[in-house]
């Protein structure tokens, strides 16, 4: 297969108890790294699954040379994303893309993001006509409100699991965001907007979960909201200088 770019891409996908989805997810996303460059990788991060997600995914590395499957202790979605970002950057990724392993996103829409990678540093999906259930929509609206109250920033869809990030810009954020931060993607989106990064939002399709169960309920949503407020306030108190450092001014923009 011919390669289309000299840049390398690492696609980072956290997985927890996704044995029913993981083969299809790998088959959907692997052709992208294969097409972009021989140095690109698809990275599956097994977050301490209790099923055979790791075994199923790892078996596929025998046929797919650009697939990496990592088994790690359970730490939650946010911390696992951070683990993947650090891994990709340490491996020399020019661009890092993150999505989830539940089959709700479409690999075909990735190319809209890749087409404008030279114009923006953070390209983030905004879920359109969501089909993933009322509880998850409530989580997104809750987080949007929390971000507005704590950071004074208005974010279209802060926790979208569909984002392409320039490695050199992502690295700066990895130096200040704690590795175990609960809502790392929300914080990344918020900081990128707050600091004036070159951010682009694209509407994306968001299907129902393809297999497995949705673990969210009202009690957990409330817990997520309160934890977000506490964690964001703590981060702000410790990183005010970084948060208020305008990237636009550094680039000489108005």
Q: What is the mean pLDDT of residues 127-140?
A: 70
Residue 231: CATH number of its domain:
3.90.550.10
Specify the number of domains making up the chain: 1
Return the H-helix or E-strand segment holding 150.
helix 134-151
pLDDT at residue 2 greater than cutoff 70:
no
DSSP 132: S
> What's the rounded mean pLDDT across residues 174-196?
96
**Whether pLDDT at 149 is above 90:** yes
pLDDT in tens, 5-16: 679 999 999 999
Q: Residue 72's beta-bridge partner residues?
A: 47
Task: Write down the pLDDT at residue 139.
Answer: 76
Distance CA 203, CA 3 (A): 27
Alpha-carbon span 201 to 43, nearest angstrom: 24
**pLDDT recorded at residue 44:** 98
pLDDT for position 126: 93
Q: At residue 1, does pLDDT exceed 80?
A: no
CA–CA dist 114, 197 (Å, integer): 17
Look up residue 21 and give its DSSP letter. Answer: T
Cβ atoms within 10 Å of 164's Cβ, excluding its own:
25
Identify whether 174 is part of a domain: yes
Residue 2 lies in a domain: no
Domain encompassing residue 212: 9-250
Closest CA to 167 of 30, 10, 31: 10
Angle ∠(6,162,130) on CA atoms, nearest 5: 145
Higher pLDDT, 247 or 166: 166
Q: Which strand ranges, in their side-by-side order, compose the sheet holding 41-47?
A: 67-72, 41-47, 9-15, 95-99, 162-166, 122-128, 199-205
Residue 187 belongs to a domain? yes
Please give the DSSP secondary-structure letter assigned to residue 134: H
pLDDT at 249: 67
- Token pair listed for 218: 């009202």
Tell me what pLDDT residue 114 has: 98
Give the number of other Cβ atoms within 10 Å of residue 38's Cβ: 12
77-90 and 184-194 helices cross at what angle (nearest 10)? 70
Predicted structure pTM score: 0.91
Kindly tell me if the per-residue pLDDT of 254 is higher than 60. no
What does each C-alpha distance from 161 to 65, 126, 204 come to in angstroms? 25, 9, 10
235 three-class SS: helix
The CA radius of gyration of the chain, in Å to the nearest whole number, is 17
Whole-number pLDDT of residue 196: 95
pLDDT at 127: 86
203-250, pLDDT tens digit by residue? 999 887 656 555 555 676 678 889 999 999 999 999 999 999 988 766
Q: Is 236 domain-assigned?
A: yes
In angstroms, the CA 30 to CA 52 distance is: 20
Predicted local distance difference test score (pLDDT) of residue 136: 67
**Residue 234, in any domain of the structure:** yes
Q: How confident is the model at residue 176 (pLDDT cuts 50, 70, 90)?
A: very high
How many whole angstroms separate alpha carbon 62 and alpha carbon 34?
A: 15
For residues 67-82, average pLDDT: 97
Task: Name 122's bridge partners.
Answer: 165, 199
**Predicted pLDDT at 158:** 83
Q: What is the pLDDT of residues 186-205, one digit of tens each?
A: 999 999 999 999 999 999 99
**Bigger pLDDT: 73 or 135?**
73
């Amino acid at each position: 297969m011919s390669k289309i770019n000299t840049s390398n891409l690492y696609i980072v996908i956290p997985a927890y108890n996704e044995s029913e989805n993981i083969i299809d997810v790998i088959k959907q996303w692997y052709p992208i790294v294969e097409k972009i460059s021989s140095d690109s990788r698809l990275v599956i991060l097994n977050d301490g699954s209790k099923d055979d997600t790791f075994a199923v995914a790892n078996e596929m590395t025998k046929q797919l040379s650009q697939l990496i499957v990592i088994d790690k202790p359970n730490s939650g979605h946010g911390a696992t994303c951070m683990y993947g970002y650090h891994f990709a950057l340490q491996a020399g990724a020019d661009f890092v893309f993150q999505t989830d392993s539940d089959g709700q996103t479409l690999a075909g829409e990735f190319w809209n993001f890749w087409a404008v990678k030279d114009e923006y540093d953070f390209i983030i999906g905004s879920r359109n006509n969501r089909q993933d259930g009322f509880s998850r929509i409530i989580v997104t609206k809750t987080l949007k409100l929390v971000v507005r109250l704590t950071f004074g920033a208005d974010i279209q869809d802060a926790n979208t699991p569909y984002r392409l990030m320039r490695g050199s810009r992502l690295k700066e954020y990895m130096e200040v965001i704690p590795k175990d931060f609960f809502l790392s993607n929300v914080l990344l989106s918020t900081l990128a907007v707050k600091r004036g990064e070159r951010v682009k939002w694209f509407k994306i399709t968001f299907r129902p979960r393809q297999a497995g169960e949705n673990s969210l309920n009202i009690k957990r949503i409330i817990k997520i909201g309160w934890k977000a407020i506490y964690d964001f306030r703590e981060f702000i108190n410790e990183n005010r200088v970084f948060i208020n450092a305008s990237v636009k001014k550094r680039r000489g923009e108005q």
